[in-house]
């Protein structure tokens, strides 16, 4: 890989402080919540959709590996840049672009924390269904890429059931806009559900339109006792 050529191209459209080669900084982006580690050659901090387009375009032109990263909370090594290249951090992209409680939707940048979505929607007695235990400190983009869900998935489904549409950038730098803003979006290929759960292998999500649900009017804690582990698991 020609790092100088890559840096020159990246810096044509990005400020120097967001294209980082300092080793200490690269180490911070070399691991996630797994035991894997691999040093990226460059860390880029994206500030918006256009930055992601630029980085993908440069990497595509020069044949450089590119790995998207939210907060690195996944436990599988999915955000470890095993082939080197660019680690593209979206953690700075945290804008809530549109919030329409009456339409039960929220549009945000991919680096927005799940917890921010929950507290924003919670003020209007709404919530976003995906509730991985890492929700307080993982990103919407990471949740979508991992197809995340938590205990609520039993009733409400996972991220695939909770995303209405996406704005994303494919490996050659092309922008994709998928889905719609209504629950009924029946015509055409369902690219949204294809991208959700694809772990950054098909495209980098930059913005997501999230489907919100009304909070239940009542919550009760229930305890159920089972004879043994097998019958408890069967009930789940």
Ligand X SMILES: Cc1cc2nc3c(=O)[nH]c(=O)nc-3n(C[C@H](O)[C@H](O)[C@H](O)COP(=O)(O)OP(=O)(O)OC[C@H]3O[C@@H](n4cnc5c(N)ncnc54)[C@H](O)[C@@H]3O)c2cc1C
Shortest Å distance, C-beta 28 to ligand X: 12
Shortest Å distance, C-beta 113 to ligand X: 8
> Site size for ligand X, by CB under 6 A?
32
Among 85, 149, 165, 179, binds ligand X (CB under 6 A): 149
**By CB under 6 A, residue 166 contacts ligand X:** no
Q: Which one, 33 or 57, has the nearer CB to ligand X?
A: 33
Residue 213: partners with Cβ closer than 8 Å, 6 or more residues away = 104, 126, 127, 128, 129, 156
Among 40, 81, 84, 142, binds ligand X (CB under 6 A): 142
**By CB under 6 A, residue 170 contacts ligand X:** no
Phi, psi (deg, nearest 5) at residue 179? 75, -160
SS3 (DSSP) at 208: strand
Residue 110: partners with Cβ closer than 8 Å, 6 or more residues away = 70, 90, 93, 139, 140, 141, 144, 204, 205, 206, 207, 208
Q: Which one, 10 or 203, has the nearer CB to ligand X?
A: 203
d(CA 78, CA 172): 20
Torsion 69-40-194-107 (CA) sign: positive
**By CB under 6 A, residue 148 contacts ligand X:** yes
Stretch that binds ligand X, among 22-30, 99-107, 126-134, 170-178 (CB under 6 A): 126-134
Shortest Å distance, C-beta 235 to ligand X: 19
Shortest Å distance, C-beta 185 to ligand X: 21
**By CB under 6 A, residue 69 contacts ligand X:** yes
What is the residue-wise DSSP string for 170-189? Answer: ETTS-EEEEE-SSS---SS-
Q: Which one, 120 or 206, has the nearer CB to ligand X?
A: 206
**By CB under 6 A, residue 85 contacts ligand X:** no
């Amino acid at each position: 890989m020609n790092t100088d050529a890559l840096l020159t191209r990246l810096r044509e459209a990005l400020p120097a402080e967001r294209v980082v080669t300092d080793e200490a900084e690269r180490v911070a982006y070399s691991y996630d919540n797994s035991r894997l580690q691999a040093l990226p050659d460059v860390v880029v901090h994206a500030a918006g959709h256009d930055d992601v387009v630029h980085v993908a375009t440069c990497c595509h032109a020069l044949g450089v590996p590119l790995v998207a990263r939210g907060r690195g909370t996944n436990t599988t090594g999915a955000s470890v840049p095993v082939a080197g290249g660019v680690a593209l951090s979206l953690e700075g992209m945290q804008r809530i672009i549109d919030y329409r409680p009456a339409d039960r939707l929220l549009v945000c940048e991919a680096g927005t924390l799940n917890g921010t979505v929950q507290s924003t929607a919670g003020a209007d007695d709404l919530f976003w269904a995906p509730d991985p235990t890492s929700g307080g400190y993982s990103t919407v983009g990471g949740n979508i890429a991992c197809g995340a869900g938590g205990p609520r998935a039993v009733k409400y489904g996972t991220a695939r059931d909770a995303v209405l549409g996406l704005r994303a950038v494919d490996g050659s730098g092309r922008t994709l806009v998928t889905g719609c803003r209504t629950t009924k979006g029946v015509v055409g290929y369902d690219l949204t559900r294809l991208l959700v759960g694809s772990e950054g292998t098909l495209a980098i999500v930059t913005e997501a339109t999230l489907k919100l649900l009304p909070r239940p009017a009542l919550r009760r804690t229930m305890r159920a006792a089972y004879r043994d582990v097998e019958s408890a698991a069967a009930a789940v």
